[in-house]
Structure 1
Amino acid sequence: MSVNESPLRSVRGYFHGRPTRGRTTEAVTDALREAILDGALPPSTWLREDEIASRLEVSRTPVREALRRLSDEGLAYKTAHHGTVVSPMSMEDILALYVIRENLEGLAARLAAVRTDKSLVPALREVQAKMEALADSGDHAALSQHNITFHRLIREAAGNLYLERFLGQAEQAVRRLAPTTFASPGRAVDACAEHAAIINAIEASDPEAAEEAGKRHMRNAREIRFSKMMGT
């Protein structure tokens, strides 16, 4: 991207076709959210209403509402006089994220083990097989996507709408962190082993083991994330 090109040019690629009547705000919100989560709109990018409206060929009203929603989600913030900016993520933010995620992912695994949804374990093993096949491929994007699916299946099986909502928000925050932990040598293989421990505990209907396996998985991911950020 040249110095004269705005990062907002990328938003058009996330805006798929013309939204149906009454869904323009949702379509604009989705496009901006995905651009932020993918890193196409990096932290501290100015989200100018008029430019977004022009690039998406919509009025400023749905853009204004979309920016308000993104602010509510913590993905952007409104300054006093200058408009809306993509929120940065500090070291403290990332630490707080992993502290919360460790406990919530552990709780999700515990609840999934208690509820014993018969369709869950086969679904998890299917995702696990795909990750194992990719473990040595270097395809970090595909590994990350399968990993998201793995954790999403568990939180949905937990059967707690509040937990699902909070973990969904945590997932969004994790997607903003680059590079992925799978870029660390050996991490994909280790993550697959940690996933296997979670699956086995859920299959055995052992909530304590499932919770501990879920927490351990998050602790290991946190340690790798911080090592990468510190350059160690």
Structure 2
Amino acid sequence: MSEKFAVPTDRSLPRPLVRRVLREEIKEYLIDAILRGRLRPGDRIIEMRIAQDLGVSQTPVREALRDLELLGFVTSAPFRGTRVRAFTHDELVEIYPIRAAIEGVAARAAATRITTEQLLALEEQIDRMREASELGDEATAIEADIAFHHIIVEASGNRLLEQFWTSLSLATTTYLTFSVHRRAIEGLAARHEPILEALRARESDRAEAVMRRHIEEPARWVYAALSRGSVDPPAS
């Protein structure tokens, strides 16, 4: 970690550029920590502690946290500091149709752009889901699920779309990681296979349609579960 965040000693490199690069690396580090559950909804993020852990000053950490607040990953309030954002039930339900639209567009674009290497990476993530489901390893299954969708969003070649997806993925990951039980991973691999098949066939219309269905189906599960009160809300 110290090597990744080490500031170059070359005096010819402008200091503002160094700080900007650090800010982006710290932001990626924190997003990864949140999505992998090392930082949970409601957890406080202390600038000084993050700076010490990464061997940097507090300034780029503060700037990274401001960026994360704009993306919706964290919230900041007087006397409470900065915390990982927690989502209400209503927000979780409302996010799914937005995510279905965004990922449908991503799948359509990816169908004509995706590389052989990316298709192989999607196969690998499906294999991880299947193995994790058999072992009852929810954390790995959810991690593979996120990676699968991220590969497709990256393959779309639309960087703005990728930014939107990243901010929305926090909410859906928060729900999967902390609010659902084993049903979340049962049949998970099989549910992703039609998406891979459509992308392999380079069929844009089909890829968009199967992606939308893929996301809209669990949205109905979420709505039904929340209506019954059978799940706990994310920590706040």
- Which range, TM-score by smaller chain? 0.7 to 0.9
- SS at 2:202's partner residue? coil
Give 1:225 deviation, angstroms. Answer: 3.3
> Measured at CA, do residues 154 and 62 of structure 1 come closer, stay the same or move farther in structure 2, by a change above 3 Å?
closer
1:8-157 equivalence runs, <5 A? 16-17=1-2, 19-21=5-7, 22=18, 24-26=22-24, 28-50=26-48, 53=51, 58-79=56-77, 83-115=81-113, 117-157=115-155
**Does the CA-based 8 Å contact 1:140-1:182 persist in structure 2?**
no
What amino acid is the match of 1:231? S
- SS at 1:177's partner residue? helix
**Does the CA-based 8 Å contact 2:142-2:177 persist in structure 1?**
no
Q: Which runs of 5+ in 1 are unaligned?
A: 1-15
| 1:192-226, Cα deviation, whole Å (9 max, x unpaired) | 22211112222222222211110111012223334
Q: How far apart in 2 are the matches of 1:41 and 1:90?
A: 18
Give 1:111 deviation, angstroms. Answer: 1.7
> Measured at CA, do residues 114 and 140 of structure 1 come closer, stay the same or move farther in structure 2, by a change above 3 Å?
same
In the other structure, the counterpart of 2:230 is: 231
CA RMSD of aligned residues (A): 3.0
- SS at 1:198's partner residue? helix
With 25-34 and 64-73 compared, the bigger mean Cα shift is at 25-34
Q: TM-score, normalised by structure 1?
A: 0.75
Given candidates 204, 207, 210, the residue that maps to 2:201 is: 204
Aligned residues: 216
Give 1:104 deviation, angstroms. Answer: 1.4
| 1:42-83, Cα deviation, whole Å (9 max, x unpaired) | 434444445655666654323322321221221222325654
Q: How far apart in 2 are the matches of 1:113 and 1:197?
A: 13
Q: How far apart in 2 are the matches of 1:124 and 1:42?
A: 27
Q: TM-score, normalised by structure 2?
A: 0.74
**Does the CA-based 8 Å contact 1:198-1:213 persist in structure 2?**
yes
In the other structure, the counterpart of 1:194 is: 191
Identify which of structures 1 and 2 has the higher relative contact order when contacts are C-alpha pairs closer than 8 Å and 6+ apart: 2
Q: Which runs of 5+ in 2 are unaligned?
A: 8-17, 232-236
Q: How far apart in 2 are the matches of 1:181 and 1:81?
A: 28
- SS at 2:83's partner residue? strand
In the other structure, the counterpart of 2:11 is: none
| 1:79-127, Cα deviation, whole Å (9 max, x unpaired) | 2565433322112221232121111122222222233644443332233
